[in-house]
Amino acid sequence: MLNLTLLAFLACSGSDNTKQESEATKTETPAKEEAKADTAKAEQLQKQASAILGPLPEKMPGSENDTPEKIALGKKLYFEKALSINDSQSCNSCHDLNNGNMGVDHEKTSPGAKGERGGRNSPTSVNAGFHIAQFWDGRAPDLKAQAKGPILNPGEMAMPDEETVMKKLSGIPEYPKMFKGAFPDQDKVMTYDNLAEAIAAFERTLISKDRFDTFQKGDLAALNEQELRGLETFVSTGCISCHNGATVGGTSYQKVGVVKPYYTDENTDIGRAAITGNDAEKFFFKVPSLRNIAKTGPYFHDGEVPTLEEAVSIMAEVQLGKDLKKNEVADIVAFLNTMNGEITF
């Protein structure tokens, strides 16, 4: 009788345990399903992002010919104030690499060696060698051509001519030796062309590393829930139609004010049309890269917009005709912050 009672008790206990396990399983299932759905969504966004955008390459175009000596010379020249008429400015003055500034001076427009303000906001020098061209209007095809401009620009570093620049550098003892080391196969090494080539070589090392690339390379945990929402909104809103490629911009020219006029622009700067002479390109500018965008304000070619939130709202309105909600703007800004990178130089 005792055995039968014990068996009955064990059977009931087993039934209760099975019931409890079944109830526990039912309780866990929604959470597990939600986690699986989140992972699937992150995987989908990761594949979409890496297909349309992609991580930054490890090397810039043209870097295959760079040497340590050429890069070292370029770095010294980048920070050299003797390249300005009154020894007051270097490339770094407007494209500051110190203290996490990521290649900008955070000014609306930059002051030149003589105190005059330029007409446009200084774009970042970080990752610039990946862009379709240099300057807001694309007037320089590459970093080397860009490096030649500001030194001789009367409103910027204001040196009178190439000969004066090189004569001044020749009088600084370390430069003749460094130029010879950087260009060992040339008889005449102290040339303006070599100066520009060296600065470009240094700038080709300015490639930032960030969490968004970590995500694109497969680490789904690199972005949090809000940042993933921001990426999804960035894509679905249409931002990606202009801000594409590994630099998330910098790959094309676009009119500022496609759907609505850019209302902070008084239409005094006609952009690319001033270079090409083509009226159809009035108010066209190079689409800025969004890499490090949260670190490189103020925004747009005129530097008129102080915050990233305002910049996102304005672009959605004037380029896409969309009125984003505050939470959508906040999500996009959170995503853009994942491209805050670091550089070594």
Q: What are phi and psi of 111, to 5 degrees?
A: -80, 140
Over the Cα atoms of the chain, what is R_g? 28
Q: What are phi and psi of 271, to 5 degrees?
A: 70, -135
Cα angle 116, 122, 127 (rounded to 5 degrees) comes to 155
Active site residue 266: no
DSSP-derived secondary structure for 268-293:
---BTHHHH--GGGTTEEEPPP-TTG
Instruction: Sort 142 into a burial class: Cβ within 10 Å, 0-12 / 13-18 / 19+.
Output: middle
Neighbouring-strand partners of residue 209: 342
**What number of H helices and E strands is found in the chain?**
12, 2
Q: Which one from 34, 64, 69, 156 is the annotated catalytic residue?
A: 156
Neighbouring-strand partners of residue 342: 209
Residues tagged active-site: 156
